[in-house]
């Protein structure tokens, strides 16, 4: 299932990528493979990034703070028109689930590579989606929704009891989500969540649901076209998270039996079919320890973790998005989509796990990605890139595929050992400890696992002798030390080329 040149009948031949980082670089690859031109927008903070270097054209946009540039719909549309783009791909985050933006793209006579504005309003809005799914007969968690009656929102949330999970109505990616175990802190956490939601999504509306302890996070990739055809592309297990931000994703889920897998995937397809959804999307579920599951939300966009699905199925999900947006019907029936092997994705962050996963900054001084059979590296950085605090700290995604889960874990550890990324502290060593943990190896984790197993984040204590050896090696490699060792004394230099 490889990409081929686009048919001449497509309504666009140039695509503007309204995003940054690794997803922008990843979109450029498929757009160009299909014989089209890729235009990227970038803030000056992203000038030295892979997407800017590889796109057919890169146009600078402005904003303060830098994230505001990628949320400026008018500026992005202006660039699309000036560069003769026929379509806009929003990637994930930023404006990807913004119905107002999708509608503005269509009104400008361009193709929005995603669902319709109406579908985003229905399924991309977490509150409306929950109501729709519940009315369609699918299970959802008990909740309190701010839109129902803003004046009584906090009171209705208190009546649910603890623990509670506060979530934004718009957006995703863990932004604006907070667990409340003490009702005395509820109002404070509501205000924090609202502020974060407004910052990241431009929409401060919230809802609260009962938080299920120790669940797994299972999501199902779906595709729908303009003609009512829907398929699922199997599930992904995204249970390993910190602060509601995923760290490791894999497929197939080690928690599901074949019967459970079929049930949850068919449920997702049923939800999407009911919504008459088009393009790529992800239906997310909370999966309980006794096998029960309920609808969590739908992401009306491409997911960060989509590569693991591509690795086991051979599909290029971005190509499928482009084909659907161009008006083509789905190319595959459900029976034709097969999953083979096991894939794992590890997110490499610029952060210090030992200090509360605090973000880190600095220049990329050296970068040597891993290589090998069934090893994939998706990144937006290059040597010389500057890691700042302006954006999400994810630097790259390492994706591996094995014949089975044991093989995939082995390949993942080997690839992490090969990875060299210097200039800012990263979570690479932490990821190696994580995938070697007996609970992960056994597939026995849940969304709160890292909170319970906080010791994994702590760095091992280094012996004094090893520390001294490393410091000595570092000192001997510095320019003043090397220069001093190689320098020729003046007396000897005055002898010229004389030899005894």
DSSP string, 388-419: -TTS--EEEEEEEEESSHHHHHHHHHHHHHH-
pLDDT at 379: 97
For tokens 């696992």, the residue is 449
| Domains contained in the chain, CATH given | 14-113 (3.40.50.20), 142-210 (3.30.1490.20), 216-457 (3.30.470.20)
- Would you state the structure tokens that stand for residue 427, as one six-digit string? 């979570």
Q: Which secondary-structure segment (H or E) carries 342?
A: strand 342-349
For tokens 């994705």, the residue is 345
The β-bridge relationship of strands 37-42 and 14-17 is parallel
Buried/exposed code over 402-423 (b: 16+ C-beta within 10 A; e: otherwise) = beebeebbebbbebbeebebeb
pLDDT (tens, 9 = 90+) of the chain, 500 residues, equals 445 677 888 999 999 999 999 999 999 999 999 999 999 999 999 999 999 999 999 999 999 999 999 999 999 999 999 999 999 999 999 999 999 999 999 999 999 999 999 999 999 888 899 899 999 999 888 888 898 899 999 999 999 999 899 989 876 667 888 999 999 999 999 999 999 998 888 888 998 988 888 899 999 999 999 999 999 999 999 999 998 899 999 999 999 999 999 999 999 999 999 999 999 999 999 998 888 899 999 999 999 999 999 999 999 999 999 999 999 999 999 999 999 999 999 999 999 999 999 999 999 999 999 999 999 999 999 999 999 999 999 999 999 999 999 999 999 999 999 999 999 999 999 999 999 999 999 999 999 999 999 999 998 887 888 888 888 887 877 777 777 767 777 777 677 766 65
What distance in Å separates the CA atoms of residue 265 and residue 222, rounded to the nearest whole number?
Answer: 9
Which class for 103: exposed (0-12), middle (13-18), buried (19 or more C-beta within 10 A)?
middle
Question: 416 Cβ partners below 8 Å, 6+ apart?
Answer: 346, 370, 398, 428, 431, 432, 435
What residue spans of 227-379 are helical by DSSP H? Answer: 258-275, 306-313, 317-325
Single out the residue of 259, 436, 404, 421 nearest to residue 339, CA to CA.
404
What distance in Å separates the CA atoms of residue 27 and residue 40, rounded to the nearest whole number?
Answer: 10
pLDDT at 498: 63
Angle at which helix 73-82 crosses helix 99-107, to 10 degrees, equals: 30
pLDDT at 122: 96
- CA–CA distances in Å: residue 456 to residues 129, 245, 247, 462: 36, 17, 13, 15
What distance in Å separates the CA atoms of residue 218 and residue 295, rounded to the nearest whole number?
Answer: 10
pLDDT tens by residue, 447-492: 999 999 999 999 888 788 888 888 888 787 777 777 776 777 777 7
Would you put residue 171 in left (φ > 0), alpha (ψ -120 to 50) or beta? left
Strand partners, 224: 230, 279
pLDDT at 463: 84
Q: What are phi and psi of 224, to 5 degrees?
A: -135, 145
Question: 125 Cβ partners below 8 Å, 6+ apart?
Answer: 99, 169, 170
Task: Note whether 269 and 262 are within 8 A (CB).
Answer: no
Q: What is the C-alpha end-to-end distance of the chain, expressed in Å?
A: 72
pLDDT at 373: 93
Q: Count of CB atoms within 10 A of residue 471's CB?
A: 10
Q: Count of CB atoms within 10 A of residue 244's CB?
A: 17
Question: 235 Cβ partners below 8 Å, 6+ apart?
Answer: 218, 219, 220, 221, 251, 252, 253, 256, 261, 264, 265
What distance in Å separates the CA atoms of residue 316 and residue 199, rounded to the nearest whole number?
Answer: 32
Would you give the distance in Å from CA 433 to the centre of its chain?
Answer: 21
DSSP class of 150: G
Q: Is 434 helix (H, G, I), strand (E, B) or coil?
A: helix
Q: Is 105 helix (H, G, I), strand (E, B) or coil?
A: helix
Single out the residue of 220, 198, 214 nearest to residue 272, CA to CA.
220
């Amino acid at each position: 299932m490889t990409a081929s040149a686009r048919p001449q009948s497509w309504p666009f031949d140039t695509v503007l990528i309204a995003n940054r980082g690794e997803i922008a670089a990843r979109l450029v690859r498929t757009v160009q493979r299909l014989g089209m031109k890729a235009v990227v927008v970038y803030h000056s903070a992203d000038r030295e990034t892979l997407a800017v270097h590889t796109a057919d054209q890169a146009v600078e946009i402005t904003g303060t703070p830098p994230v505001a540039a990628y949320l400026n719909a008018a500026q992005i549309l202006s660039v699309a028109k000036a560069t003769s783009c026929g379509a806009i791909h929003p990637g994930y985050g930023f404006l990807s689930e913004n119905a107002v933006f999708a509608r503005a793209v269509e009104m400008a006579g361009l193709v929005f590579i995603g669902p319709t504005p109406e579908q985003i309003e229905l399924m991309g809005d977490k509150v409306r989606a929950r109501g729709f799914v519940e009315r369609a007969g699918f299970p959802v968690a008990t909740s309190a929704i701010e839109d129902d009656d803003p004046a009584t929102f906090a009171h209705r949330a208190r009546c649910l009891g603890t623990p509670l999970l506060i979530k934004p109505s718009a957006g995703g990616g863990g932004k604006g989500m907070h667990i409340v175990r003490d009702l005395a802190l509820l109002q404070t956490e509501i205000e924090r969540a609202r502020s974060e939601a407004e910052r990241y999504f431009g929409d401060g509306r919230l809802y609260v649901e009962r938080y299920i302890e120790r669940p797994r996070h299972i999501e199902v990739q779906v595709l729908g076209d303009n003609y009512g055809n829907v398929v699922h592309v199997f599930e992904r297990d995204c249970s390993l998270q910190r602060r509601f931000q995923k760290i490791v994703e894999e497929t197939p889920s080690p928690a599901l039996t074949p019967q459970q897998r079929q049930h949850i995937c068919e449920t997702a397809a049923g939800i999407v079919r009911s919504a008459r959804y088009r393009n790529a999307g992800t239906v997310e579920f909370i999966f309980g320890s006794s096998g029960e599951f309920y609808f969590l939300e739908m992401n009306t966009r491409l997911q960060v973790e989509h590569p693991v699905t591509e690795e086991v199925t051979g599909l290029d999900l971005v190509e499928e998005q482009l084909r659907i947006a161009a008006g083509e019907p789905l190319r595959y029936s459900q029976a034709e989509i097969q999953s083979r092997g096991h894939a794992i994705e590890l997110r490499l962050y610029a952060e210090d796990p030992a200090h509360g996963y605090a973000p880190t900054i600095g220049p990329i001084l050296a970068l040597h990605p891993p290589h090998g059979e069934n090893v994939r590296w998706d990144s937006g950085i290059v040597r010389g890139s500057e890691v700042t605090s302006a954006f999400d700290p994810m630097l790259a995604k390492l994706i591996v595929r094995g014949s089975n889960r044991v093989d995939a874990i082995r390949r993942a550890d080997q690839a992490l050992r090969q990875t060299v990324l210097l200039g800012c502290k990263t979570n690479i060593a932490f990821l190696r400890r994580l995938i070697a943990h007996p609970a992960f190896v056994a597939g026995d984790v849940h969304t709160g696992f890292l909170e319970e197993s906080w010791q994994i984040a702590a760095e091992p204590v280094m012996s004094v002798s090893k520390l001294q050896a490393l410091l000595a090696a570092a000192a001997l490699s510095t320019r003043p030390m090397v220069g001093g060792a190689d320098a020729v004394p003046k007396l000897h230099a005055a002898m010229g080329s004389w030899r005894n």
